Amino acid sequence: MTSLELLDIARTVALEAGELIARRRSEGVEVADRKSSPVDVVTFADRESEQFIQSRIAELRPQDGFFGEEGADSSSQSGLTWIVDPIDGTVNYLYGIPRYAVSIGVVEGDANPAGWTQLAGAVNNPVLGELYTAAAGHGAYLGNTRLHVNNETDISLALVATGFSYTSSERAEQAEIVRRMLPVVRDIRRAGAASLDLCAVAAGRLDGYFERGTKPWDFAAGTLIVLEAGGVVGGLGGAAFGNDMVLATNSALFGPLEELIAG
């Protein structure tokens, strides 16, 4: 199956799941559990959305693996794995802030970024009706509009986004990075959904995004969308992007932002 055919599945299921979570949000949100800390919540809609996505993928691609934020995990018999965040930006979802999304990526390999080859991804913000998509080798799109990262080369004019851990000790380290960066760049944004921040870089709404501690479901789709929009995504010191760091921007700003982050 080609990357475009896989994208058709990702797009369809992301739209269907987006309708589901938007409907559940209108009915009222209930916290189901807490994860890494008392403020790191999961709603019943997170679980329902993941179960829905897993069942739809199983119908359409029964030999593929699945890896979801809420615990769904099945090994692949085909060599392909679907990596899913059923609601990225759950706290935004809880509060009714319109910055949350369904993120669906499919890779050749497993959920380890060091060994995968990204094939297709879709990120759907159902509140704003914005669907970001990419297939390997075929560009990135917002709806039918092709995306390209900004060409900004001056770091003092760069608008940069980041995110923060739900663990207080990690937040302190992240605050130190922001302290170094804030006097140097145009400004910093923190919107609360990694997948949408990555898509904003691809769409030119941001010049860069960085975050430590993200998981494969946070960036499996969004990083491909940045790459297909002509951007650069990596870690620090030549490392690949992953849990330690995801830095997404253009080729001119990658080095200066990496230097600021590394200190």
Candidates 170, 207, 210, 167; CA nearest to 187 is 207
Residue spans of beta strands (DSSP E) within the chain:
31-34, 41-43, 65-68, 73-74, 80-88, 101-108, 117-125, 130-135, 140-142, 145-146, 159-162, 187-189, 208-211, 232-234, 246-249
Question: Which residues, including other chains, have CB under 8 Å from residue 150's CB and lie 6 or more apart?
Answer: 204, 207, 250
Catalytic residue of the set 87, 104, 225, 261: 87
**Residue 98 DSSP label:** S
Catalytic annotation, pick one of 48, 69, 152, 228: 69
Active site residue 153: no
State how far the Cα of 259 lies from the Cα of 160, in Å rounded to an integer: 14
Is 87 catalytic? The answer is yes
Angle at which helices 194-202 and 216-228 cross, to 10°:
0
Q: In whole angstroms, what separates CA 57 from the centre of its chain?
A: 19
46 belongs to the catalytic site:
no
Q: Is the dihedral of CA 22, 24, 28, 31 positive or negative?
A: negative
Catalytic member of 46, 110, 197, 218: 218
Instruction: Spot the catalytic one: 48, 50, 85, 110.
Output: 85
Residue 145 appears among annotated catalytic residues: no
Based on the residue annotation, tell me whether 117 is a catalytic residue of this protein. Answer: no
Catalytic residue among 46, 48, 64, 88: 88
**CA–CA separation, 173 and 148 (whole Å):** 32
Please give the Cα distance from 137 to 64 (Å, whole number): 21
- Cβ 93 vs Cβ 85: under 8 Å: no
Candidates 90, 133, 223, 249; catalytic one:
90
Q: How many residues does the chain have?
A: 263
Q: Which residues are catalytic?
A: 69, 85, 87-88, 90, 218
